[in-house]
Structure 1
């Protein structure tokens, strides 16, 4: 139940209307998201509930790789789309067992985070996987350049807007919306708390999300006595999440890093002005301030100074809200599908 699974199922369900799609999972659990294609579960499932961040992936997942290769042969799969680093590390062994099958590595986070944080203990296998696939798909211009060092067949395809509504916010409520997993380090929730302490008394932050640090966040809000300025909601189903966006007048993101945060595209679709601390994913959306406000660092004082004019002026909020709506059109699902279909055609022509 994270952004990778969300976007993979949105894109996959749409492509299933034109292609014979299968989903494949290392877990024996069902999908949290609705699927428009069959879900194949590994014969030897892994149900840790955690993303793999260790060493020796090819040794530790030997049985699972064999299961996957058996499935590829049985279903006569033409193209395998490998999400993120663990599956990408499998690609040399997949190629060895299925030499005519085309492999795509889909990178959902930024290069530095993958190399220095998530996959530092399996960097050798990860890089070998990147080199073995037929195409690497990235989400930002920054990552396009960096992943190209490992595979010349690297391209950029944005993620689509995953929550669509024709009903925009009227931007007249004193609510700053935030949507993220409650992970302090990744999502910069310490910065968000500092921002809440600076807000005028008549403004508040409403955060929708769940995650490992939710109790810590609740305790911090209580200890800082900012219960009126910082409202913590649960992870919301789509209809309630749409209402959350419509009730907001500004969308703020304080993440230390992001690949291509789906929530910015969602907030843009609801016409919310975007204010973000620096990360490569936000930069791809906002284009150095062309479509929203992005500060060059992670300084809460700088963030508040940029935010303050929006708090005071609804006309300014409407200006940036219109820019956000304009930008959201670049991430419409049919447009993104065209790019995936073109890639599939190009790979099939190579056979």
Structure 2
């Protein structure tokens, strides 16, 4: 008989099916012999995309509905150190004491620094069967600060199309970034300023920015392009691309993936780009050290330092041999360490560790 796996994420929308919370829920359903469910608020979405994956939707309409879902849940997935998740741990364990809680912390260093908890919270967290964090540096910090067992499980990639090795000869002289362009955390202006400097040396290279543009940032973009008309054919804003196969194709064609963020958890785009053989250039955020394996497969520059980024772009783009070597090696590294099906098998093993000990 199949067990039930439930993601509780109040604000769930269809687009999150491609993010860590959705992919984990989907893989437990497709590959690990669970019936997957999502418990969230009812909103304007029809969730056809989710139900096509065989995942059952439940809505937090009333207490009876919520309690019924929780009573029949074997594993409850919670994302993030939020008050609503702490309350849900308490509620779930009171209704279903044998049920298991997996708390995926989804932390960054800034968020971690603001967390203060007392004995009550510690007792709640001790009721979790598994707590994980996405970055090695954060796991080390948590080990020193929290009297709890925390596992390291990074965010990975999950291909929707053909999972084949990418040959370097398939790639073009393109630097890409993917995300919500122009929000403060992403520091997209750093990438534009850096490319402006580097472009004089990198005559045959283009910059492609994939994602929706924050309305407040559009003014900056318009002004930047007016001041630098010579770059108008070399900087491409594609808008948001929802089709996963089209996104994967963009990664496949690019030689470099660049992220300029001021703070991040573990962005899914890192593993997606690395899986397609992109050299990673990132600001100095914790997950950059994981995805580049301490700079073996990429470069890391100081946050907000567009001059350092420009110099890095010139150095890396001019080194064809390095780009080709990394293209091959980063794919091997990523398949071994960041493939979501493997990561979910690891999660499942952690969750069932005690059961295996009891059965021995």
Q: Report the TM-score range of the alignment, normalised by the length of the smaller protein.
A: 0.7 to 0.9
Relative to structure 1, the CA distance from residue 147 to residue 98 in structure 2 (aligned partners, 3 Å threshold; closer, same or farther) is: farther
Relative to structure 1, the CA distance from residue 305 to residue 207 in structure 2 (aligned partners, 3 Å threshold; closer, same or farther) is: same
- Residue 156 in 1 paired to residue 146 in 2? no
- The count of aligned residue pairs is 326
8 Å CA contact 2:35–2:55 kept in 1: the answer is: no
Partner of 1:323: 329
Alignment of 1:56-135 (within 5 A): 68-73=66-71, 76-86=72-82, 87-90=84-87, 91-113=89-111, 115-116=113-114, 130=125, 132-135=127-130
State the distance in 1 between where 2:99 and 2:227 align. 56
- Residue 12 in 1 paired to residue 15 in 2? no
- Residue 175 in 1 paired to residue 174 in 2? yes
Partner of 1:60: none
Q: Alignment partner of 1:337: what SS?
A: helix
Aligned pair partner of 2:267 in 237, 258, 261: 261
State the distance in 2 between where 1:316 and 1:161 align. 24
- Residue 142 in 1 paired to residue 140 in 2? no
Relative to structure 1, the CA distance from residue 5 to residue 129 in structure 2 (aligned partners, 3 Å threshold; closer, same or farther) is: farther
Q: Which moved more, 1:218-227 or 1:77-86?
A: 218-227
Q: CA deviation at 1:106?
A: 0.8
8 Å CA contact 1:170–1:249 kept in 2: the answer is: no
| Deviation sequence 1:304-336 (CA, Å, 0-9, x none) | 222212222322211222232122112123321
- Residue 279 in 1 paired to residue 279 in 2? no
Partner of 2:346: 339
Q: Alignment partner of 1:249: what SS?
A: strand
Partner of 2:218: 215
Partner of 1:234: 239
Partner of 2:58: 41
8 Å CA contact 1:130–1:151 kept in 2: the answer is: no
Relative to structure 1, the CA distance from residue 14 to residue 324 in structure 2 (aligned partners, 3 Å threshold; closer, same or farther) is: same
Partner of 1:49: none
8 Å CA contact 2:110–2:263 kept in 1: the answer is: no
Q: CA deviation at 1:4?
A: 8.1
- Residue 24 in 1 paired to residue 39 in 2? yes
Relative to structure 1, the CA distance from residue 267 to residue 109 in structure 2 (aligned partners, 3 Å threshold; closer, same or farther) is: same
State the distance in 1 between where 2:126 and 2:354 align. 16
Q: CA deviation at 1:238?
A: 1.5
| Deviation sequence 1:49-93 (CA, Å, 0-9, x none) | xxxxxxxxxxxxxx67x75334212xx212211112334222233
Alignment of 1:280-299 (within 5 A): 280-299=286-305
8 Å CA contact 1:291–1:327 kept in 2: the answer is: no
Q: CA deviation at 1:129?
A: 5.4
Q: Alignment partner of 1:108: what SS?
A: coil
State the distance in 1 between where 2:262 and 2:103 align. 24
Relative to structure 1, the CA distance from residue 132 to residue 190 in structure 2 (aligned partners, 3 Å threshold; closer, same or farther) is: farther
8 Å CA contact 1:245–1:270 kept in 2: the answer is: yes
Q: Which moved more, 1:124-133 or 1:265-274?
A: 124-133
| Greater share of residues in strand | 2
Q: Alignment partner of 1:21: what SS?
A: strand
Q: CA deviation at 1:176?
A: 0.7
State the distance in 1 between where 2:50 and 2:220 align. 30
Q: CA deviation at 1:207?
A: 0.9
Q: Alignment partner of 2:246: what SS?
A: helix
Relative to structure 1, the CA distance from residue 4 to residue 289 in structure 2 (aligned partners, 3 Å threshold; closer, same or farther) is: farther
| CA root-mean-square deviation | 3.0
